[in-house]
Chain A
Amino acid sequence: MSVAEAERPAEEPAESTWRTLRRGLALSPELRTGLAGTVALALVYMVGRVAVPVAVQQGIDKGIVGGLDLDVVWTVVAATVAVLVVTTTCGYLMMRRLFTVSETALANVRTRAFRHVHDLSMLHQQSERRGSLVSRVTSDVDQITQFLQWGGVILIVNLGQLVVTTAVMLAYSWQLTLVVLAAFAPAVLVIRLLQRRLAGAYGVVRQRTGALLGTIAESVVGAPVIRAYGIAGRTARRLDTAIEGQRQAQQRAIRISILGSSVGELAAGLALAGVVVLGVALGVDGTLSVGQLTAFLFLVTLFIQPVQIATEVLNEAQNAIAGWRRVLDVLDAVPDVADPGEQGRELPSGPLDIRFAGVNFAYPGGPPVLHDVSLEIPAKSRVAVVGETGSGKTTFAKLLTRLMDPSGGEVLLSGVPLPRVRFASLRARVVMVPQDGFLFDATVGENVRFARPELTDAELTTAFTELGLADWLDGLPAGLDTPVGERGEALSVGERQLVALARAYVADPDLLVLDEATSAVDPATEVRLQRTLDAVTRGRTTLAIAHRLSTAQAADEVIVVDRGRIVQRGPHDELVREPDSVYGLLYASWLEQTG
């Protein structure tokens, strides 16, 4: 899992920018709505920029050089002001449309990516760093919108400016236009080359930024360990290395980026010089008026600007495209444990029976964890799964709840193969309480009614009472309204398990899977819970993974897992009588522990 992460190349051979853009647009068709109108507005907006040089030319040629005519100057200026009013309004309208469209489209992408992350299988989720999954729906999307708006506006506007300027330049003089294009052609080639190196450099920046975030997170989350072992010095060194690594990468990227804009600047100088040389000759020829040549010099700066700005925007674009690609990759990742949805079936009503048929399982790239497991568990029975650490107990539970699919064989609930069961039906009927009962940063009550928001406080209190936890609930500072803190950290580990258990209990499943759900609870409470659970789970199927054999003793049947195989099965009383069996040894050790 994490090994796969480490093996992933730092900067995967990126698909082409255009392909990413096409995929991105295909995913957000909203971005296209009214695009033509927006582009049209942008073009009108651009006319405003070109209007001024044209006005200067007209003013100089007709109103100043060769006889001063103030009326002409006035007329030209007044007309231009009118044009500017129109173009400025168009600019406003264009931006308004662009912002509304892009923000709406990307808010949808954000939400879809969020949902998709939840739809990915547990294994897939764990193969990514938590932080990087979060950044898919936060900073990566921000980068795209920022680019579409700052970069996108500038790109549209500047491309428009480039086109309009070139057109006006051609109208004045095709010869001079050729000079300008000739000066810029080599620059564009060099910039393209640099662009590729820049993309690599930004890739390194992102990678180092990710590493930095990981290191910071570790220093924050691991604060107790750092304190307890007095290893602040070591942590500081690791942080410094990560911080410095990121800075070096950033500086390298900016050096390459500056090279690009320098090339553009030199091309601009070359173009101006060329225009003057040829322009004077054409002026002497009589092909070009003074005003036209002046306007041309203005136009060259209008031509330079977009080229220079575009290089900077393209730098930013590399980042945004990479972000977009990451978001798209998440959305394109096919959930390997998929909801059959409409085509799926509902589980038959009533208590569920379980069947494993020749089930094998291995984690990707790992050795087999379960070997050819076949068994049937009748409905309404209460089964305990025991075995040593690493024997495959938890894998068993994850396959049963379809957090993972087996590598071979089938898991069936009441005769329906799990992959054919609709998630809506599966999750409502089958509930697992994992060992780490994650709590949300809300109150105790809100956490318990997570799956059943409609439950009232009175019903929740009843639930706690039935679980024998009324005393504990009363002891909390604000009862059901007590905030549990981030990840439930305001409660002790055992208390978190109590809340998680209550949460599963009120969800009212037909199959309850407990994965060492009470490992951090004190024995008296555990025994009490055990009894009440037995009572309330009567009539439904329960499978409990346990390392405290008290659970096993209370179960109808015990399944003993050893090295990925089921080695024993039967009621506790029978199993302990089998001499030298795995269970016998486990039980002997348990007696020694408790007795």
Chain B
Amino acid sequence: MDRTGKDEGGELRLTAGESVTSRTSRDVLGRGLSVLGRAIREQPRIFAVAVAGSVLFGGLVIASAYVVGAVVGDVVVPAVERGSVGVAAVALAAGALFGISVLRVVGIFGRRIGAGYMQFRLQAAYRRRVTRRYLDLPLSWHQRNATGTLLSNANSDVEAAWYPIAPLPFAVGTLVMLVGAVVSLFVTDWALALVGLAVFPALFALNVVYSRRMAPRQARAQRLRAEVSGIAHESFDGALVVKTMGREAQETARFSARAGELRDALVAVGRLRGVFDPMLETLPSLGTLAVLVVGAFRLRQGAITVTELVSVAFLFTVLAFPVRAIGWVLAELPRSVAGWDRVRRVLDATGEMPYGDVALDPADPTPATLDFADVGFAYEPAEAHLPGAEVLGEVSFTVPAGATVALVGPTGAGKSTVAALAVRLVDPDAGTVRLDGVDVRQLTAGSLAGAVALVAQVPFVFDDTVRANITLDRPGITDEQAWAALRLAEADGFVAALPDGLDTMVGERGTSLSGGQRQRLTLARALAGRPRLLVLDDATSAVDPRVEAAILAGLRAPTAGGPAASILVVAYRRATIALADEVIYLEHGRVLARGTHTELLASVAGYADLVTAYEQAETDPQQQRTPDEVTPLATGLEIEVDR
């Protein structure tokens, strides 16, 4: 497959995206901080616990430096000079050092439990919100967004958005600690404090520069990661095609090219880290050395004591590591902002299909009436430069209560769209769809779902038990009713043969079932709800004619407890069509004709061609056995390849 054109397009978009990123990298910091602010506002208490723990820890780090200084200056030096050990002083010193450690454990507990819980709570909360939006937003929105994108919005994007939460309390505590350290330095000696004032802001500045430089590189890596994952997803989804056409090597080449780009992007990230990480590490060491020099001068001037000098030097050593926490937060901000933007896109998406407030009588056992009045529908164009395809125009018809109406038309005529409109999976762009005289847009959610059922062309089965797939937790569907529905759908036989009957797990997307079995299972699901209007969208295509005939007979002559439903059925088979009270013939999104099967057969040429195709093929065997008018393309190609 020629993917080069596409790849170049992707590359262009990528570079464009990157220049945007670098232009906006200045405000990534601001926006990142505002994302963090939101996190704090949402989880103030747990954040307070974490910061309290972190501040306690930070205070103790400073304290430990002064204790070590005091131990050296006030315990060790005098003891060495005296030549004797002051037991009480040494015990006090040892006790103080150990006590500080115990308190630090308390600080660590508060900080890490707080930070971890906060991060996980936010992740969970936003996963709930994002997935709620998925349930609320209309199908047209779903169709505009790739499945992979929606999956990563709810998963990795949420994770990325709250990733800096883990080191955040540590960083906040460190900031407090830095302020405390500078203050304590001023209390000790102004000259040493100046060293601190030079080193700490420099450390901070280095961190900021680092994260700014990193932002576009990380963003690029993240984008490529998504693309690599997209290729893998698609390729594994189409594994059967790849295998049957022997295209493994080409698919691997396609994957490998993008994986190579990702590798280069990640190496670029790594080189930058290689530059900054050692510098960030060395800066505090230089601080300690500066303290040694300045301290020696001040010692000579008599301004400070050895105790103070040791304390300050120790302070620089122990501060070096926590300061890195600020860098961690800053480094994660661009990813966080990018993740947050994608999450926001879902949360802010509009276009819900709100339900109305007109309720239908749930106990009404009579079949429903369905009305299409001048209905028009167009899909949004897949790409901006392409025209939006009008699928339906001025479609009007009625399914009277208790009637069966067949929808017939060539491939791509818009039949599935009519089916989707009938159960309000989508709303029309023009005209009205009415159920029992009420615009379906005015019906409550429960009313609509309770009254109508759609069996789609491609069956969707949940990774759950057979029972759950039939009942979908709708109230009042007993096992007996489930079996009755299965019988009607001719699915009772294979379900009874499953190892655990109704309790058998069907696997992801029902992989353990055959296509025909999945179809009959979804048919049983629709029947179990006793719908008043049943919409069958070519729902028996994977079922053998005999089985299909039995199913349809069951639907037409409902036994006791069977459904009394109006039926709108998309069909090709003449037996199915013959059962219909009326046939709607659709071509290019327009109702070309309506009437009984016999009427249409007599008056509409396109219809007659379509439904009698098999007989014509049979009665005209000559035509199918003399294909001289066709030049096999494949042979021609072979010649070309041989050349």
Contacts and interface: CB of A to CB of B under 8 A. Distances in A.
Contacts of B529: 229
B364 interface: no
A279 interface: yes
A220 B134 contact: yes
Contacts of A377: none
Contacts of B306: 60, 64-65, 290
Interface residues of A, number: 214
A187 to B, nearest CB: 12
Given A269-B102, A450-B247, A524-B613, A440 B1 contact: yes
B266 to A, nearest CB: 5
Contact of A99 (B117, B259, B270, B463): B270
Contacts of A104: 263, 267
A21 B48 CA distance: 41
A266 B105 contact: yes
Contacts of B293: 73-74, 77
B296 interface: yes
Contacts of B281: 48-49, 88, 91
B252 A523 contact: no
Given A126-B511, A255-B113, A593-B548, A550 B614 contact: yes
A95 B124 contact: no
A122 B507 contact: no
Interface in B53-102: 68, 71-72, 75-77, 79-80, 82-85, 90-91, 93-95, 97-102
A200 B121 CA distance: 22
B474 interface: yes
Contact of A508 (B1, B460, B630, B637): B637
A107 interface: yes
A264 B97 CA distance: 15
A493 B108 contact: no
A305 B324 CA distance: 13
A434 B131 contact: no
B3 to A, nearest CB: 7
A582 B576 CA distance: 22
Interface string A539-567: 10000000111100110000000000000
A206 B95 CA distance: 43
B474 A490 contact: no
Interface string A487-508: 1011111110010100111111
Contacts of A99: 266-267, 269-271, 273-274
Contacts of A581: none
A247 B125 CA distance: 10
B505 interface: yes
B8 interface: no
B401 interface: no
Contacts of B285: 48-49, 51-52, 84
Given A228-B454, A522-B610, A138 B225 contact: yes
A76 to B, nearest CB: 7
Contact of A466 (B262, B263, B544, B633): B633
B602 to A, nearest CB: 17
Given A494-B412, A589-B549, A594-B574, A450 B120 contact: no
Given A451-B245, A538-B627, A526 B228 contact: no
B234 interface: yes
Nearest to A339: B248
A595 B574 contact: yes
Contacts of B252: 111, 114-115, 118
B632 A435 contact: no
B310 interface: yes
Contact of B240 (A228, A229, A434): A434
B121 A247 contact: yes
A48 B282 CA distance: 8
Interface string B307-330: 001100110011001000000000
Contact of A81 (B286, B379, B474): B286
Contact of B546 (A442, A520, A585): A585
B109 A262 contact: yes
B556 interface: no
A519 B541 contact: yes
A535 B572 contact: no
A251 B97 CA distance: 31
Contacts of A410: none
B212 to A, nearest CB: 19
B131 A219 contact: yes
Interface stretch (B37-45, B135-143, B202-210, B369-377): B135-143
Interface stretch (B14-22, B28-36, B480-488, B512-520): B512-520
Contacts of A548: 545, 614
A144 B470 CA distance: 42
Nearest to B233: A134
B383 interface: yes
14 contacts: A1-B512, A60-B310, A254-B116, A272-B68, A276-B90, A283-B79, A389-B547, A427-B244, A442-B6, A446-B1, A446-B2, A451-B245, A504-B245, A586-B545
The 7 A-B pairs at the shortest CB distance, nearest first, are namely A269-B101, A427-B246, A2-B507, A230-B449, A99-B270, A535-B627, A91-B278
Given A70-B300, A290-B306, A390-B517, 17 more contacts: A73-B293, A110-B228, A111-B252, A118-B252, A130-B237, A212-B155, A216-B151, A250-B120, A254-B113, A265-B105, A388-B544, A466-B633, A495-B411, A527-B614, A531-B627, A539-B632, A549-B545
